[in-house]
Structure 1
Amino acid sequence: MGTVAAYIDGFNLYYSMKNKYGRKYLWLDLVKLASYLRPEDEVVQVRYFTTIVRGEPAAAANQIHYVDALRSHCGTILDVQIGWFKRRTLSPCKLCGEHWQCECPRRPRSFEEKETDVALAVAMVEDVAAGLADLTLLVSADSDFAPAVAAIKRVRPAQPVILAMPSGSIQPHKRFVDIGYFTISETALRRSQLPEQIYDPVGKKSRRRPEKWF
Structure 2
Amino acid sequence: MVKVITYVDGFNLYFGLRDSGYKRYYWLNIRTLAQKLLMLNQELIMTKYFTSRIIDAPEKEKRQSTYIEALQTLCDFNDFELYYGHYRRDPFRCPRCRNTSEIPNEKMTDVNIATEMLLDAVNNRFDIALLISADSDLVPPIKAIKTHYPEKRVTVAFPPRRYSADLEHAASSSFHISRAKIAQSRFPERVMKTDGFVLERPSEWS
Fold shared, TM-score > 0.5 on shorter chain = yes
Deviation at 1:154, TM superposition (A): 2.3
Give the secondary-structure state (helix, strand or coil) at the position aligned to 1:90. Answer: strand
Deviations along 1:47-100, whole A, 9 cap, x unmatched? 1000111111111111111111111145221100111111012216999x896x
Contact 2:27–2:187 (CA<8 Å) still a contact in 1?
Answer: yes
The residue that corresponds to 1:105 in the other structure is: none
Deviations along 1:146-202, whole A, 9 cap, x unmatched? 001011112311111100001113563268425200001100110011121111114
Query: Does the alignment pair 1:87 with 2:82?
Result: no
Contact 2:168–2:174 (CA<8 Å) still a contact in 1?
Answer: no
Contact 1:8–1:138 (CA<8 Å) still a contact in 2?
Answer: yes
Deviations along 1:16-43, whole A, 9 cap, x unmatched? 1011024111111111101101042211
Structure 1 counterpart of 2:79, one-letter code = I
C-alpha distance in structure 2 between counterparts of 1:74 and 1:191, whole Å: 20
Q: Are residues 20 and 130 of structure 1, via their aligned partners in 2, closer, same or farther at CA, if it must alter by over 3 Å?
A: same
Give the secondary-structure state (helix, strand or coil) at the position aligned to 1:148. Answer: helix
Q: Please give the TM-score of this superposition, normalised by the length of structure 1.
A: 0.88
Q: RMSD value over aligned CA atoms? A: 2.1
C-alpha distance in structure 2 between counterparts of 1:177 and 1:115, whole Å: 21
Contact 1:162–1:181 (CA<8 Å) still a contact in 2?
Answer: yes
Query: Does the alignment pair 1:185 with 2:187?
Result: no
Contact 1:73–1:198 (CA<8 Å) still a contact in 2?
Answer: no
* Unaligned segments of structure 2, at least 5 residues: none
Please list, as runs of the form range in 1=range in 2, the aligned pairs for 1:6-155 lying within 5 A after superposition: 6-40=6-40, 41-75=42-76, 76-91=78-93, 108-155=101-148
Give the secondary-structure state (helix, strand or coil) at the position aligned to 1:149. Answer: helix
Q: Please give the TM-score of this superposition, normalised by the length of structure 2.
A: 0.91
Greater Rg, structure 1 or structure 2? 1
Structure 1 counterpart of 2:119, one-letter code = E
Q: Are residues 65 and 92 of structure 1, via their aligned partners in 2, closer, same or farther at CA, if it must alter by over 3 Å?
A: same
Seq. identity, %: 29
Q: Are residues 119 and 170 of structure 1, via their aligned partners in 2, closer, same or farther at CA, if it must alter by over 3 Å?
A: closer
Contact 1:146–1:175 (CA<8 Å) still a contact in 2?
Answer: no
- More displaced 10-residue stretch of structure 1: 172-181 or 124-133: 172-181
Contact 2:139–2:167 (CA<8 Å) still a contact in 1?
Answer: no
Contact 1:33–1:192 (CA<8 Å) still a contact in 2?
Answer: yes
Deviations along 1:131-159, whole A, 9 cap, x unmatched? 11211000001110000101111231111
C-alpha distance in structure 1 between counterparts of 2:93 and 2:177, whole Å: 36
- More displaced 10-residue stretch of structure 1: 78-87 or 172-181: 172-181
Structure 1 counterpart of 2:134, one-letter code = A
C-alpha distance in structure 1 between counterparts of 2:72 and 2:167, whole Å: 35
C-alpha distance in structure 2 between counterparts of 1:207 and 1:98, whole Å: 42
